[in-house]
Chains A and B, each alone.
Chain A
Amino acid sequence: DAMVIQNPRYQVTQFGKPVTLSCSQTLNHNVMYWYQQKSSQAPKLLFHYYDKDFNNEADTPDNFQSRRPNTSFCFLDIRSPGLGDAAMYLCATSRVQGVDGEQFFGPGTRLTVL
């Protein structure tokens, strides 16, 4: 089945220790998104890639970076995690040809910062 995969599902890191979260997709979608979701809140868009074009949200902290080496993979790098970065991180994809906006989500990675 075509899908969005996130690894790991649970990640524990220490305060200030860099961490990388991974997302891959078999849908061959052009657009990939990273969201941060804190407890009992809506997902908050951090940035997205339209093919190789990177689009950062204005309020995304510099601490968050992303890489998309090819169509299938996208990475979220947190350079110096703080306690406030503990959250669920969701990866999503969408077709570019269909502008109906439907996004397909992965299962998420829950990040704990000690």
Chain B
Amino acid sequence: AQSVTQLDSQVPVFEEAPVELRCNYSSSVSVYLFWYVQYPNQGLQLLLKYLSGSTLVKGINGFEAEFNKSQTSFHLRKPSVHISDTAEYFCAVSEGSTLGRLYFGRGTQLTVWP
């Protein structure tokens, strides 16, 4: 089974600072990669996804992620965070062959301080 590792369970950062949330996966086959954001007491919202093509993917709210096949990583970045970015972020992987099944990481709580 696929394994997704989010290396940091909590990331505190000051407003307007850059942030990187790390994600590594275990699959050696072609994968599709996703980042979801979850605000308190809400469902998951898609931030961005990598399916193919350019390894740098841009998403909503100024986030971007870079797919690195050799390092099996898909780290999420934002050059300048806002207090409203405070939320839980989940990295997820699909192998396509399992017809849409997503494997989630444990999540990273991003807290932005004023």
Contacts and interface: CB of A to CB of B under 8 A. Distances in A.
Interface of A: 4, 6, 31, 40-43, 45, 48, 50, 88, 90, 92, 94-96, 99-108, 110
10 contacts: A40-B9, A40-B107, A40-B109, A41-B107, A43-B90, A100-B49, A101-B92, A101-B100, A102-B49, A108-B42
Interface string B103-114: 011110100000
Contacts of A90: 43-44
Interface in B67-114: 90, 92, 94-97, 99-102, 104-107, 109
B34 A42 contact: no
A108 B34 contact: no
Interface residues of B, number: 27
Contacts, number: 68
A103 B97 CA distance: 15
B17 interface: no
B69 to A, nearest CB: 17
Contacts of B99: 31, 50, 96, 99
Interface of B: 9, 32, 34, 36, 41-46, 49, 51, 90, 92, 94-97, 99-102, 104-107, 109
Contact of B32 (A31, A101, A106): A101
Given A4-B43, A104-B46, 9 more contacts: A31-B99, A42-B90, A42-B104, A43-B90, A45-B101, A90-B44, A94-B100, A99-B94, A99-B100
Contacts of B101: 45, 48, 101
